[in-house]
Structure 1
């Protein structure tokens, strides 16, 4: 239905404009007023149309009359008068052509302002999800001039929408899906909303041009804060980021209609808002797993250094692959450096192995802490994080906790027992010469164990028990 319609006796001033939903020209009378055609035979047919429950327009003129009939006659006798209202308390008010013109001009001004704001704002397709044209996003990003970063799925650019909101526009690369499949998957991603997930605002799909529009995160990605000297995050902030990230992954794995395996959990895909609240990014871009299927084979590959053993061996993947990647990232929360980067004194070549052994031997975990923190951390939290990380990177996925369990442990609602040292990590200690360093497509250094060590584990399942307190 149209947003506007003309009163009886009036018609659109410009029918072509109305046919394209442009009502700014307003309406005009089909016949002239009595005073405009005094000799017309139609003059006795002029009457007023009563309209109830209306808010009276401004700019009225008061007339000193004592009845409704006198008020009507006063308006009829004035050729400029187009409407009147009479109340026992307020008396007679009339609106002349000038007043109506003012109202129309105000209406046109508001309409034009609203139209200007929506130029290039896209078309809503489902809920809050918006379909943008490629030109819209070219304008929003100033022809993709300010690059924020890039990864396996494509490059990301900063932009601003007509409503002044700042967005991050991702230009997807190597997307072979058809239009219908792409829109279906984007629609699914658009319905996934959580405080610890980056919100999808909209998308663009024009031929081979596939783009996604997200909320902009002013504090950038976690790696830019965790691994740089001038961007030190204190321990409390790191712990809250770890907890928020776990909550976001739990939502993807357990709370969505379809279990969403992220497949590329790493610091670059954890974004921070203005208050350093973590937001998991790039979820849903990998394979979606229906609840009827506990496992899925896919050719997708995550970032080296965070890959679970099952990725490398080519076996089926479950949500526990995300748990492994999260665990590898969790070690970096403690050390403040990449897992494969050697310590300053050169004594520690692969931090996860060193940390797992330290906890297993009952050593002082504060010695594992990022030296920039100068030991300022809760020792129980540091111990808890390293234990959780060690459980998350167990060789056998069945021995890893779910992300929901990780949340409960970090929140303090579950106790966590001493984890066994995973075989893959122990292999690095025994065969340090087999460590091979890589640089992936996003220029992020990573590591991978080059060995034929079996990923099968005979270790006991994790003994995570409810806190008795």
Structure 2
């Protein structure tokens, strides 16, 4: 007998509800009028490959944030690694909180029901259909029905950058408050007003930049402060590039199948973490501050010292005479356990000397080249002076005085050779241990030296015999050591190259590797006086360009020295060198591959419209300005021409072959005098034949020629048929022709079209075109002193671009 339907109905309802519940797990997207509930663990958005998930993430007891986290391999709760949070400052309740996409197109996060205020909102609206999806890059994206992005999490990072997520002038990273507190902390990564990427401690009462180090100039640290683009990106292979010319490579750079993230940790250090597929543990593959962790500001608060022990890590302690302000919270610093009746009464004050202690910043003033007594009297006369630092400036330099109005960013530094004097009451006493604050790095004691007793002849004979035996053994040992050192020299060199590659991404290739990568040098993509360029696929699947140098006669040591120098040059408008080969007579350079080839190959292309040509002019000038003025080593290009200006996938220019002349004839350049003429006919400055010192102005001249060719469409090696005022025809060269045309333009109001390449078809900005031609003509003056520098060229072009 079949059971009655009334008995089967509850079973059907149960199965139906379970199927509905299962269908809500691993949601591909969130549509309008749909919500995710904090009470349903299955309400989670998952990226197509399952690499990332988005949903409610536990941040405390009955406290949740809406977050994106790594979900491959699968994880649960606090064991997952979050990469973005919507409401890190205001966690929501574990009951009745929802994340919804409203009919208006706005994303909202509400706390404990509809009556509660909105905790977070995307602030978006869309009359058409909208949808929220999580991409495999970890980007949570809200789009309308036509695919237009209305909002995305990549535009508002918290403490983490993912590969391909840009850090821009409008975005920044802020650390978490502590290891177990996800709310905003005191450390920030951002682009400052000088266009430089910085780390800053932004505490409750004070703020200070600690990376790049404040005591050195941007130039000395390889930073470029003139690029206002302000963008930085970590790529999937482990390379981080910033528009201020800062670049880093992770220790596992080039390994493609890795999960990576750049996180500003709660301790103020910026780190890149990597892990292999399937692994649950992260490894630090780069960090901004590794040698002296105590250089990070704000770690220990006022009136305290940061100490570092490689075995125990960092620790904080109060200065002598000070006690913790909030026990257990070193960020609150320390306060004195003494009082002054008046901080300016000399009879009540003394100074105690602290060894190996340094404080960074917060000087009342700096008194150069002074005595210790004058420094002491200065601090004594200032009521708010807490102490003073007396240290030598440079090796063998003068002593300088730094009176401190605040004792912040203090640390024990065993290498610090200066002295710090702390202001305390006269009646305050301290032990020796309190005053000597130094991290100890002790060595094992030396063995005791025993004196021979010369009165015992038998013992003496034995010792002489023993000494002969020991001497013979030493000779054998020295020979064996010498033999193994010679034998292992190649292995040591290889190990050094491996380390160099891990640290910088700059690799030494074997000739066999490059022969295989180029398929036996089968696909030629360029040729010049320096050598032939071939397309190659490297072992890590990167597409590259390999240049086989044809005239490199330098020795291996000199070649490696120059190659490493060029490899360290890094700018967004300079071609990036990935490695080299120096094997036997072979000298090869490995560069990044440029999709659109050279400017010479594109001069007649309709894809090279006016906007792109102007960008090429600015970008090329920036790259050359960096070589001339920003490089740690002065570099002249000596062969600027359209063939050496390459174009990437977005037609952005990258100057190639810079420094190649140094590789060709290292040692033949003295005091800016070159042993032979360099360059290409038509683009060479007259300086080369004038017997005057060669300077960066030869590159300025060549740049001007290239710009004239780019806007007129006329090669500098051809003659132009021109009519004089009397009607007689004659042949003229590009520079005098262009100069006369521009004079006519100013004198008679002639049309600019007579100068500009007809391929433009009138589609350009006349004002900017005129400025570009005028700047180019300034660059090609016969007198090198009349030519501008490349940085001045950049300034002139950008000033007029902004005016436009």
Instruction: Look up the SS of the partner of 1:144 in the other structure.
Output: coil
Aligned to 1:185: 562
Aligned to 1:135: 512
Instruction: Look up the SS of the partner of 2:710 in the other structure.
Output: helix
Q: CA deviation at 1:400?
A: 0.4
CA distance in 1, matches of 2:797, 2:652: 16
Instruction: Look up the SS of the partner of 2:661 in the other structure.
Output: coil
Aligned to 1:398: 785
Aligned to 1:50: none
In the alignment, structure 2 segments of 5+ residues that lack a partner are 1-72, 75-277, 280-496, 724-728
Aligned to 2:248: none
Instruction: Look up the SS of the partner of 1:310 in the other structure.
Output: helix
Contact 1:190–1:201 (CA<8 Å) still a contact in 2? yes
Q: CA deviation at 1:195?
A: 0.3
CA distance in 2, matches of 1:300, 1:286: 11
Q: CA deviation at 1:342?
A: 4.8
Aligned to 1:262: 637
Contact 2:681–2:717 (CA<8 Å) still a contact in 1? no
Aligned to 1:356: 739
CA distance in 1, matches of 2:791, 2:524: 35
CA distance in 2, matches of 1:183, 1:326: 29
Aligned to 1:279: 654
CA distance in 2, matches of 1:187, 1:351: 39
CA distance in 2, matches of 1:352, 1:162: 47
Q: 1:328 aligns with which of 700, 705, 709?
A: 705
Aligned to 1:454: none
1:306 aligns with 2:683: yes
CA distance in 2, matches of 1:204, 1:161: 13
User: 1:67-82 alignment to 2 at 5 Å?
Assistant: none
User: 1:10-29 alignment to 2 at 5 Å?
Assistant: none
1 or 2, which has the higher helix percentage? 1
Distance 1:201-1:401 versus aligned 2 partners, 3 A rule: same
Q: CA deviation at 1:316?
A: 1.7
Q: CA deviation at 1:366?
A: 2.7
CA distance in 1, matches of 2:647, 2:607: 14
Instruction: Look up the SS of the partner of 1:257 in the other structure.
Output: coil
CA distance in 2, matches of 1:166, 1:344: 44
Instruction: Look up the SS of the partner of 2:533 in the other structure.
Output: strand
1:365 aligns with 2:365: no
In the alignment, structure 1 segments of 5+ residues that lack a partner are 1-56, 59-105, 108-121, 416-466
Q: CA deviation at 1:336?
A: 2.0
- TM-score w.r.t. length of structure 1: 0.59
Please give the per-residue CA displacement for 1:158-196, whole angstroms capped at 9, x wherever unaligned.
000122110000000111111110000000000001000
CA distance in 1, matches of 2:691, 2:722: 37
CA distance in 1, matches of 2:536, 2:801: 43
Aligned to 1:421: none
Aligned to 1:377: 764
CA distance in 2, matches of 1:157, 1:231: 26
Q: Which has the higher contact order (CA 8 A, sep 6+)?
A: 1
Please give the per-residue CA displacement for 1:34-60, whole angstroms capped at 9, x wherever unaligned.
xxxxxxxxxxxxxxxxxxxxxxx99xx
Aligned to 1:161: 538
Contact 1:263–1:302 (CA<8 Å) still a contact in 2? yes
Instruction: Look up the SS of the partner of 1:388 in the other structure.
Output: helix
**Number of residues of Structure 1 aligned to a counterpart in Structure 2:** 297
Distance 1:413-1:365 versus aligned 2 partners, 3 A rule: closer
Distance 1:300-1:175 versus aligned 2 partners, 3 A rule: farther
Contact 2:673–2:693 (CA<8 Å) still a contact in 1? yes
Q: CA deviation at 1:375?
A: 1.4
Q: 2:695 aligns with which of 311, 315, 318?
A: 318
CA distance in 2, matches of 1:401, 1:345: 29
Instruction: Look up the SS of the partner of 2:547 in the other structure.
Output: strand
Distance 1:133-1:300 versus aligned 2 partners, 3 A rule: farther
Q: CA deviation at 1:258?
A: 1.6
Instruction: Look up the SS of the partner of 1:211 in the other structure.
Output: strand
Contact 2:771–2:800 (CA<8 Å) still a contact in 1? no
Q: 1:172 aligns with which of 536, 549, 564?
A: 549
Q: CA deviation at 1:404?
A: 0.3
User: 1:285-304 alignment to 2 at 5 Å?
Assistant: 285-287=660-662, 295-304=672-681
Aligned to 2:575: 198
Aligned to 1:76: none
Please give the per-residue CA displacement for 1:57-92, whole angstroms capped at 9, x wherever unaligned.
99xxxxxxxxxxxxxxxxxxxxxxxxxxxxxxxxxx
Of 348-357 and 259-268, deviating more is 348-357
CA distance in 2, matches of 1:331, 1:222: 13
CA distance in 1, matches of 2:656, 2:498: 24
Q: CA deviation at 1:238?
A: 0.6
Please give the per-residue CA displacement for 1:361-398, whole angstroms capped at 9, x wherever unaligned.
31332321111111111111111111111111111111
Q: CA deviation at 1:359?
A: 1.4
Q: CA deviation at 1:294?
A: 6.7
Contact 2:677–2:688 (CA<8 Å) still a contact in 1? no
Q: 1:388 aligns with which of 768, 775, 784?
A: 775
CA distance in 1, matches of 2:633, 2:677: 18
Aligned to 1:22: none
CA distance in 2, matches of 1:243, 1:373: 19
1:148 aligns with 2:525: yes
Task: Give the CA RMSD over aligned residues.
Answer: 2.9
